[in-house]
């Protein structure tokens, strides 16, 4: 097998070619190696593979050629030395934390997190003796004040789900490093197209590849990226021994998704910006949040660390839950879902779905009002998306 390593090429080119392992058949499109295991020429070779004395594959829970292509292509694009793919985004989040932590350690994270990420930090880790402090991630003073002698890692997502708050990655990385801690960034909402956390000082980046990387609503997947040392020390052995590995089939879908990622994300972002402009002044909307706009609460930070806006738009419909439900039910093109990053436009009511686990007081604190909806803008014609939203607003 041969690997192409076109490091000198621009990012979009790397998303098409980097990491390709071409077999003896010379296939154009990456091969799908749907195999659990590998055979050895002789017993001595098996021994050498297991002792790491010879490169090669042993078992697909450890590594697989199609999964390796996905990992190498993502690492090349992200500017990471190493990457390990996982079965889901939540497996990536969980491993990135548990790989570094042990009983007696402490984690700091914002309160504004995707529901499952908040569960891991607030409920799951404490069961194993890892304490956590949740703060307002946009307030740098709170990060400094939350540090304890046993703080090992900071975890953020930016823009956040669902209120699209922006956290200053470089500033938070500096505070983490001064405290002798690491910074993990969940980069799902920004995508690798618009934000490079490692270049801003983060130690680890995680993705739910389920979202924009697949981009067409098919497979679940995740990936963890960082320095070779970070991956070797914290991730590699845990993934291999505990087993939340990405299936080769899903890796193949993700790998092919990477080829079109920039084209899709840029188109979806342009359409999201168009939607934001079309509804910003609408009398039935109390508040519109879009990271590409100058009226975003953290517009300056967004401008500093992001290369583009977002494929997501959040807005508050006047009239609370009843109005938000009426609005969603009146949509004809945009479908109701909790997912995002799909070619199909999707709408979510976070207060009753992704963030229903939080108390009313916790949601109020985060601005997840009963009227808030989050639209993940897809690849339909932008005029059709805008017309659908405007017509549904009429029905409210
Ligand atoms: C910000 C964020 N992180 C992580 C995840 C988890 O990803 P997955 O559903 O692939 O486990 C999601 C999924 O919705 C998400 O929105």
Q: Which atom of ligand 1 is nearest to the CA of 222?
A: 10
**Strand pairing partners for 189?**
none
Domain for residue 2, yes or no?
Answer: no
Domain for residue 1, yes or no?
Answer: no
Could you tell me if 58 and 118 lie in one domain?
Answer: yes
Indicate which CATH number applies to the domain containing 363.
Answer: 3.90.1150.10
Q: Which atom of ligand 1 is nearest to the CA of 160?
A: 1
Could you tell me if 251 and 363 lie in one domain?
Answer: no
Q: What is the mean pLDDT of residues 29-47?
A: 97
The CA-atom distances, in angstroms, between 317 and each of 3, 287, 326, 357, 390 are: 51, 8, 10, 21, 12
Q: What is the pLDDT of residue 94?
A: 98
Closest-CA residue, ligand 1 atom 14, reads 339
Q: What is the pLDDT of residue 36?
A: 98
Q: What is the whole-number distance in angstroms between the Cα of residue 221 and the centre of ligand 1?
A: 9
Helix (H) / strand (E) element for 82: namely strand 82-86
Could you tell me if 243 and 271 lie in one domain?
Answer: no
Q: What is the mean pLDDT of residues 241-270?
A: 98
Residues in contact with ligand 1 (CB, 6 Å cut-off): 88-90, 93, 114, 116-117, 157, 161, 186, 188, 208, 210, 220, 222
Confidence of residue 152 (pLDDT cuts 50, 70, 90): very high
Lookup result for tokens 């890796």: 251
Q: Which atom of ligand 1 is nearest to the CA of 188?
A: 1
Could you tell me if 273 and 250 lie in one domain?
Answer: no
Q: What is the mean pLDDT of residues 59-63?
A: 97
Listed residues 257, 278, 308: the one ending a domain: 257
Indicate which CATH number applies to the domain containing 112.
Answer: 3.40.640.10
* Pocket-testing residue among 208, 214, 246, 368, ligand 1, by greatest number of atoms within 8 A of Cβ: 208
Q: What is the whole-number distance in angstroms between the Cα of residue 117 and the centre of ligand 1?
A: 8
CB 235 within 8 A of CB 224: yes
Sheet of 106-110: strands edge to edge? 82-86, 222-226, 204-208, 182-186, 151-157, 106-110, 131-135
Could you tell me if 246 and 99 lie in one domain?
Answer: yes
Could you tell me if 196 and 330 lie in one domain?
Answer: no
Closest-CA residue, ligand 1 atom 16, reads 114
User: Per-residue pLDDT tens for 313-329?
Assistant: 999 999 999 999 999 99
User: Per-residue pLDDT tens for 213-233?
Assistant: 999 999 999 999 999 999 999
Q: What are phi and psi of 280, to 5 degrees?
A: -55, -40
Q: Which atom of ligand 1 is nearest to the CA of 220?
A: 10
From the list 114, 5, 166, 94, the residue with the least C-alpha distance to 358 is 114
Q: What is the pLDDT of residue 7?
A: 74
Q: What is the mean pLDDT of residues 340-345?
A: 98
Q: What is the whole-number distance in angstroms between the Cα of residue 174 and the centre of ligand 1?
A: 26
Structure tokens at 157: 């997502």
**Strand pairing partners for 274?**
none
At residue 299, does pLDDT exceed 70? Answer: yes
CB 291 within 8 A of CB 302: yes
User: Per-residue pLDDT tens for 65-111?
Assistant: 999 999 999 999 999 999 999 999 999 999 999 999 999 999 999 99
- Provide the number of structural domains found in the chain: 2
Q: Which atom of ligand 1 is nearest to the CA of 338?
A: 14
Strands 21-22 and 2-3, how do they pair? antiparallel
- Could you say which DSSP state residue 351 is in? G
Could you tell me if 180 and 298 lie in one domain?
Answer: no
Could you tell me if 12 and 77 lie in one domain?
Answer: yes
Could you tell me if 352 and 279 lie in one domain?
Answer: yes
Listed residues 231, 257, 283: the one ending a domain: 257
Q: What is the mean pLDDT of the chain?
A: 96
Domain range for 366: 262-395
Torsion of Cα atoms, 393 then 166 then 91 then 217, to 10°: 30
d(Cα 161, Cα 174) in Å, to the nearest integer? Answer: 23
Above pLDDT 90, what percent of the chain? 97
- Could you say which DSSP state residue 317 is in? E
Listed residues 257, 282, 300: the one ending a domain: 257
Q: What is the pLDDT of residue 154?
A: 98
Q: What is the pLDDT of residue 1?
A: 57
Could you tell me if 193 and 301 lie in one domain?
Answer: no
Q: What are phi and psi of 127, to 5 degrees?
A: -65, -25
CB 264 within 8 A of CB 212: yes
């Amino acid at each position: 097998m041969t690997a192409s390593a076109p490091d000198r090429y621009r990012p979009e080119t790397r998303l098409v070619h980097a990491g390709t392992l071409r077999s003896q058949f010379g296939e154009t499109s990456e091969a799908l190696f749907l195999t659990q295991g590998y055979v050895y020429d002789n017993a001595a070779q098996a021994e050498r593979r297991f002792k790491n004395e010879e490169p090669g594959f042993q078992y697909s829970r450890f590594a697989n050629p199609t999964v390796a292509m996905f990992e190498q292509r993502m690492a090349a694009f992200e500017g990471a030395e190493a990457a390990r793919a996982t079965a889901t985004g939540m497996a990536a989040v969980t491993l990135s934390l548990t790989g570094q932590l042990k009983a007696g350690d402490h984690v700091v994270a914002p309160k504004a997190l995707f529901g499952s990420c908040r569960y891991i930090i607030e409920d799951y880790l404490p069961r194993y003796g890892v304490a956590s402090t949740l703060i307002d991630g946009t307030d740098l003073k709170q990060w400094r004040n939350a540090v304890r002698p046993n703080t090992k890692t900071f975890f953020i997502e930016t823009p956040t789900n669902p209120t699209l708050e922006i956290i200053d990655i470089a500033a938070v990385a500096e505070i983490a490093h001064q405290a002798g801690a690491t910074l993990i960034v969940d980069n799902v909402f920004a995508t690798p197209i618009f934000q490079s956390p490692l270049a801003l000082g983060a130690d680890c980046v995680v993705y739910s590849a389920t979202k924009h990387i697949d981009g067409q609503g098919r497979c679940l997947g995740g990936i963890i990226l960082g320095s070779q040392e970070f991956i070797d020390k914290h991730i590699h052995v845990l993934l291999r021994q505990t087993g939340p590995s990405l299936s080769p089939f899903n890796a193949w879908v993700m790998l092919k998704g990477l080829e079109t990622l920039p084209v899709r994300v840029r188109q979806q972002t342009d359409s999201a910006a168009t939607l934001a402009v079309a509804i910003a002044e609408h009398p039935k909307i109390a508040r519109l949040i879009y990271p590409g706009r100058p009226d975003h609460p953290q517009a300056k930070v967004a401008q500093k660390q992001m290369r583009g806006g977002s494929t997501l738009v959040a807005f508050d419909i006047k009239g609370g839950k009843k109005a938000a439900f009426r609005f969603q039910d009146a949509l004809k093109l945009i479908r109701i879902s909790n997912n995002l990053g799909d070619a199909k436009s999707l709408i979510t009511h976070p207060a009753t779905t992704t963030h229903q686990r939080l108390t009313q007081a916790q949601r109020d604190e985060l601005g997840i009002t009963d009227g808030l909806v989050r639209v993940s803008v897809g690849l339909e014609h932008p005029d059709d998306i805008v017309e659908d939203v405007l017509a549904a607003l009429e029905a409210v």
